[in-house]
Amino acid sequence: MRSSETTIKVVKRKGQYLCSFPYDSKIVQVMRQLPGRTWHAKEMVWAIPEESIRADELQQKLETVATVDFEFELNNRAITREVARGEEYLRRQRYSQHTIKSYLYHIRLFLEHIPSCQEINSDQIAHYISCIAESGVYSCSYQNVAVNAIKFYIETVCGHKMPPVTLRPKREKHLPTVLSELEVAAIIRSLTNIKHKAIISLIYSAGLRVSEAVNLKITDLEFDRSLIRIVQGKGKKDRIVPLSGRFCAMLQEYRKEYQSKTWLFEGQKGGMYTVRSIQSLFHEACVRAKITKKATVHTLRHSYATHLLEKGTDLRIIQELLGHSSSKTTEIYTHVSTRFISKVRSPFDELELD
């Protein structure tokens, strides 16, 4: 017998039907008979896996005890509208394209997780972040970006105060992978294409991020002053780094073969060289050079900073060269430098074992 005054709202989220309604024992009894159903106390919703029942079957069963309000299409339109609003605000505040893409991804996932875009509470936010933390799949960095994106959406787009919930993970402390000078040389020697050799050499010789390398224009190199101008690097900051004399000689050879017009490194069809292409060629070079360390293109930047420190360069200067806002970020290289550690004599060496 239908409870005519009761309405069950059904929303489709990430492969699940989420059903919410004022408490009614008859509806609860029907819910408990559905395959794979789960009760989420915090959100006050019943979740039924999409693969366990068709939408029309679900509607037919629920309509025996209540009116059913499917919000699939309406909710999808609302999410699309909110994501578009988020993009508008992000572009207006001139966030980088990378940040815009990342934030919109997390905003959409969050909105797809909750029952309604119009009613967001601290329990919903906490549950969503808990799902990320407890999945065992995502890193602390991923969780932090998700929190930042949700905070931006709630405070900037919606104009509300972020609920006071503890969401950020304890920061992981990992030492960066560092290649020795011999390993860097082996990687560069393994590259036979002069463009590839020049790209990898530049990234190491100037300690650049891969995004900074692909964004370099020919006019950013000041040969008379032996300087490279990094325009609007990470954090929208300009900085100046030294231009290696040895790299200049390699660059002349590269420019004879490749007549790039605007960007220092251009693709086969013109335009900016891609980050993915550099990552791919670096990986192949590591394989040829028989590098067993888990190295990425960014490892060259870590290696540059560590090698400078081991040669006696002041930490403050390294901070400026890398474009770090905080000295604490640069100090991590003191933990991987062998400058002092290799000089420490183990007490084991002093034991009389014979």
Active-site residue identified among 113, 197, 307, 324:
324
Q: How far is CA 85 from CA 2, 27, 52, 223, 224, in A?
A: 40, 37, 35, 45, 47
Which of the 8 DSSP states describes residue 41? T
Residue 204: name the closest of 310, 293, 307, 281 by CA: 307
Burial of 306 (0-12, 13-18, 19+ CB in 10 A): buried
Answer yes or no: 127 catalytic: no
Answer yes or no: 234 catalytic: yes
Find the angle CA(210)-CA(319)-CA(254) to the nearest 5 degrees.
Answer: 35
CA dist., res. 264 & res. 257, Å (int): 13
Active-site residue identified among 12, 61, 234, 239:
234
Answer yes or no: 151 catalytic: no
Alpha-carbon torsion angle 239, 240, 241, 244, nearest 10:
150
Active-site residue identified among 196, 301, 302, 307:
301
Active-site residue identified among 196, 209, 302, 307:
209
Burial of 230 (0-12, 13-18, 19+ CB in 10 A): buried
Answer yes or no: 324 catalytic: yes
Active site residues: 209, 234, 298, 301, 324, 333
